[in-house]
Each structure stands twice: as structure tokens, then as C-alpha cells.
């Protein structure tokens, strides 16, 4: 199937489409299929695998690694439930290979979805010749390019990890490369304090790796509710992750597999691998946006509420706009664009209330305003915070593990719940449902009127005083 589509792409010189999508990630795929459903002739250009960051090197393989990294703790808890487990051997290479096989399956599945939708997949890297023409070059084809003509063009090329400018940075991994390893070394240094750094720190520790995490500031997960971030930190320390706050790398020395991280405090940390999880930025390399007259702001493509750039028939969705870099947001933006452009259905995406999660261990999930954001917006006297902190029943017999934290941030005047937050098991699943209530304007009284489902962790949201 892949070869057939690629062969078709070789014969598309000067082909004309209603829509050309640059990038076959979550946002691009959603827009392409929705536009085709509305009757548009659509081409999607992709020089890498189909599926984008989320499917190929992000959310999906990461979550599978999270599950794999939790098995040893589950086995350790078995004895408290009367289950005797003989010595178990953990082989990260098997896990990694199985994860890659699943990614291969999903890649093929997304290609088949495009074919069924009638979308033409054009293999190669696209660049603008002008505001209606895209030149596509395939790896290995030298200077040969195919030219596509599009009435509308959608930029959905996503983002890429960034590396700090320190000597030896090229010796380290970025998040994309974590899924390509055959196994992991015994000791890894992680640089960063965001969700990618914290998630991989927990994954690696769960797989038996000694992890040191360097954090430039004094806390983890900047931008999230501080109390929730502190609860995650407590759990990570309990797992045995060595957190070094106020510490930054100045250089990486050695050779792959035998590295030393030099810090601004004069330490030299030997390790088998380094992960630089210091942020991501839009992947604009080689697009030649200037040829189409598309304005760039910093490292991103700015758009209006209808996803339009300064060139009216050129739009952008997803991480390339650097607004809210989450898969469901990119998907919704892509569909909203396609509905408006080809279905006559005008809808704007609401970016004000987006649930998010950090698949650290313990897990964090949140929707709405953090306590800090609510206080900044309304003033401390207008904000009431309700919280519950406890060890879940799942840990009652093993008698270990981090405590859960559930938190409601409420407007004291209207009683409306401004934020719903949780750290603990199944946090993302629980907050997904809570997001519906928050989006409908639920008040604390609405939560209080809801009958509790007992015994559960989530019942605390409707029983806290």
C-alpha cells in the first residue's frame, strides 16, 4: 500500500488540488480527511512516517512505555494480595521492540485511513515556491522535485525538540530518540523540568535505571498548579529519582555510552546516556515561508481565530502555531478549518478550557485555572480552594506509594468551579469527565449535589467540604 501511494506521488508534477496539507500528523490528518469528506480534492505531503509526533515519537509510544515501567511495582505489590511471584526478569529491549511494532501498525493504519478517505499521500518534504505552489523533494531523489498547485494550503508540520547550546549537546538524546534505543544504560541524566523530562524520568526509573534529573529552577512543571507539581515531585523522590534543583549542565563530555555531564555547580556526573528535555519549537526548517509571504513570529506561525495566516488562503494548525501544543487541540483545529473552508460550517476552536495531563508517576491531570492563575485573575479574597489529600485504597494493603491530591478552585462570588486538578492514579481518566462539568459552568454546589460513587478516588471531588 505504501509503495502504491508513493508511486502515485511520483507522477504528480504540477497536479492541482483544492487543499494541500503539509504534514501528516494529528492536525494535518484530521483536516485532510475532513476536507475530503466535504468533497475537496486533497493532497497531504509528508517526508517522514504518517502519524506525526503523537503516534510515532510522542504520546502513544510514551504511554506504552509508562505501562511497561509500572509492571515491576505491580509485581512487588502482589504479595500483599496473596499472590506469590517468583523472581521476574525485566528486559527493556523487548518492551522497546514491542512498542515499535505497535507504532508500525498505527503508521500503516493511518495510511489506510487516508486511502479510504480519498486523500493523496505525497511522499517527500514540501517547500513553498509561492503562495499556491508547493515543491516536494523525496529523500534520495537528489534535486528532483514535484510541483503541486493548491487553492488552499494548510501548514501542519508540528514541532521538534530543541537542544541547549552547550558543548557536547550532540552527544545527548532528545525525546524523539528515546523510542529508537535497543535498551537503556544503567545510569541516565535528564536535563529539564517539564512534562517530557518528568515522564521519562519515571519511565526509566521504573525500568530499573538510575536517574538524575537536573532542574534549572527550584521546582518542576512550570505552568501547572504549584501544589500539584509539588505532589508529583514528592512521588518522584519516593521512586528514587535524584532531583537536583538549581542545577544546569555546562557541557557533556565523552563518547556515546560513556558520558560525563558537567554542571554549573562544578559537579561531574558520569552516566551511560543523557536526555535533553529542554523544550520543543515549531518545525519550520526548509518550508521557505517567505516565498509565500507567510509571516513568522519568532519561531512560530501566528494565526487568527480561524487558523488563517496573514495570507488568507494559507492556514496553520497544531504545534507549528505554538499556542497549545496538544494532540486533541491540533485535531480540533484541523477539523474546524476543514469544516469552514469546504463544508460551509463556521466554528472556532475554544482554547480557553483545555484539559491536560502529565503521565508522570504519580499522574497529574488538570482542567481550568490553577490556584495561582485564579488568584492573579480575581484576587486572593475571591478564590476558595477545596482539597483532599490521602492514600488511595489501591495502596491500603501494599502500604506504599504516593498520596493522591484532589483540588477544586472556586470563585467565591459565583460559586463556579474555575479549576479541577488531581495527582494520583487514573487522574487523566477522571479529569476528562470533570472537564465536561467545568465546561458547562458547574458550581461547587453542583459538585456537592452529585451522589458519590463509593469507594473510589474520584468521589472525593463531590464530598470535600
The DSSP secondary-structure symbol of 297 reads B
DSSP letters, 348-412, are: ----SS--EEE--SS-EEEEE--HHHHHHHH-GGGEEEEEEEE--GGGTTTT-SPPEEEEEEEET
Residue given cell 519516593 in the structure block? 238
Cα radius of gyration (the chain): 24
The closest alpha carbon to 427, from 457, 454, 387, 397, belongs to 457
Tell me whether strands 404-411 and 417-423 are parallel, antiparallel or unpaired. Answer: antiparallel
Angle at 299 between CA 298 and CA 305, to 5 degrees: 85
Residue tagged active-site, from 110, 346, 421, 454: 454
The DSSP secondary-structure symbol of 22 reads E
C-alpha cell at 203: 519511565
Q: Is 421 a catalytic residue?
A: no
Tell me whether strands 146-155 and 133-137 are parallel, antiparallel or unpaired. Answer: antiparallel
CB 461, CB 406: distance < 8 Å: yes
Residue 315 CA to residue 335 CA, distance in Å, equals 12
Omega before 263 within 30 of 0, i.e. cis = no
Q: Residue 39: left if φ>0, alpha if ψ -120 to 50, beta else—which one?
A: left
Positions annotated as catalytic residues are 454
Amino acid at each position: 500500500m505504501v509503495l502504491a501511494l508513493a508511486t502515485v506521488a511520483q507522477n504528480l508534477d504540477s497536479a492541482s488540488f483544492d487543499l494541500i496539507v503539509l504534514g501528516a500528523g494529528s492536525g494535518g490528518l484530521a483536516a485532510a480527511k475532513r476536507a475530503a469528506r466535504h468533497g475537496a480534492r486533497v493532497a497531504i505531503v509528508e517526508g517522514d512516517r504518517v502519524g506525526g509526533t503523537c503516534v510515532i515519537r510522542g504520546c502513544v509510544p510514551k504511554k506504552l512505555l509508562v505501562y511497561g515501567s509500572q509492571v515491576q511495582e505491580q509485581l512487588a505489590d502482589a504479595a500483599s494480595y496473596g499472590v506469590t511471584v517468583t523472581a521476574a526478569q525485566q528486559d527493556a529491549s523487548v518492551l522497546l521492540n514491542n512498542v515499535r511494532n505497535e507504532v508500525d501498525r498505527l503508521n500503516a493504519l493511518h495510511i489506510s485511513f487516508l486511502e479510504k478517505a480519498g486523500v493523496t499521500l505525497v511522499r517527500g518534504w514540501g517547500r513553498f515556491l509561492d503562495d499556491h505552489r508547493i515543491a516536494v523533494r523525496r529523500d534520495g531523489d537528489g534535486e528532483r522535485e514535484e510541483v503541486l498547485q493548491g487553492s488552499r494550503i494548510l501548514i501542519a508540520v508540528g514541532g521538534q525538540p530543541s537542544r541547549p547550546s552547550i558543548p557536547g549537546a550532540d552527544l545527548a538524546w532528545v525525546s524523539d530518540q528515546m523510542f529508537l534505543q535497543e535498551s537503556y544504560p544503567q545510569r541516565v541524566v535528564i536535563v529539564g523540568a517539564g512534562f517530557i523530562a518528568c515522564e521519562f524520568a519515571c519511565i526509566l526509573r521504573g525500568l530499573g535505571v538510575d536517574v538524575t534529573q537536573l532542574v534549572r529552577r527550584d521546582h518542576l512543571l512550570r505552568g501547572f498548579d504549584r501544589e500539584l507539581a509539588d505532589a508529583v515531585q514528592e512521588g518522584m523522590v519516593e521512586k528514587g529519582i535524584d532531583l537536583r534543583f538549581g542545577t544546569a549542565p555546562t557541557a557533556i563530555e565523552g563518547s556515546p555510552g560513556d558520558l560525563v555531564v558537567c554542571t554549573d555547580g562544578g559537579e561531574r556526573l558520569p552516566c551511560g546516556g543523557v536526555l535533553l528535555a529542554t523544550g520543543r519549537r515549531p518545525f519550520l526548517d526548509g518550508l521557505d515561508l517567505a516565498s509565500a509571504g507567510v509571516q513568522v513570529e519568532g519561531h512560530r506561525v501566528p494565526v487568527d481565530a480561524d487558523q488563517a495566516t496573514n495570507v488568507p488562503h494559507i492556514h496553520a494548525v497544531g504545534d507549528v502555531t505554538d499556542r497549545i501544543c496538544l494532540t486533541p487541540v491540533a485535531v480540533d483545529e484541523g477539523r474546524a478549518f476543514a469544516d469552514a473552508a469546504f463544508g460551509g460550517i463556521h466554528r472556532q476552536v475554544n482554547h480557553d478550557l483545555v484539559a491536560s495531563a502529565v503521565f508522570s508517576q504519580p499522574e497529574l491531570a488538570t482542567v481550568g485555572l490553577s490556584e495561582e492563575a485564579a488568584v492573579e485573575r480575581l484576587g486572593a479574597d475571591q478564590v476558595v480552594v477545596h482539597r483532599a489529600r490521602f492514600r488511595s485504597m489501591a495502596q491500603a494493603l501494599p502500604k506504599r506509594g504516593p498520596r493522591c491530591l484532589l483540588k477544586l478552585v472556586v470563585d467565591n462570588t459565583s460559586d463556579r468551579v474555575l479549576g479541577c486538578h488531581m495527582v494520583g492514579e487514573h487522574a487523566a481518566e477522571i479529569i476528562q469527565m470533570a472537564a465536561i462539568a467545568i465546561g458547562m459552568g458547574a458550581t461547587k454546589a453542583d459538585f456537592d449535589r452529585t451522589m458519590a460513587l463509593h469507594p473510589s478516588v474520584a468521589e472525593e471531588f463531590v464530598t470535600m467540604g
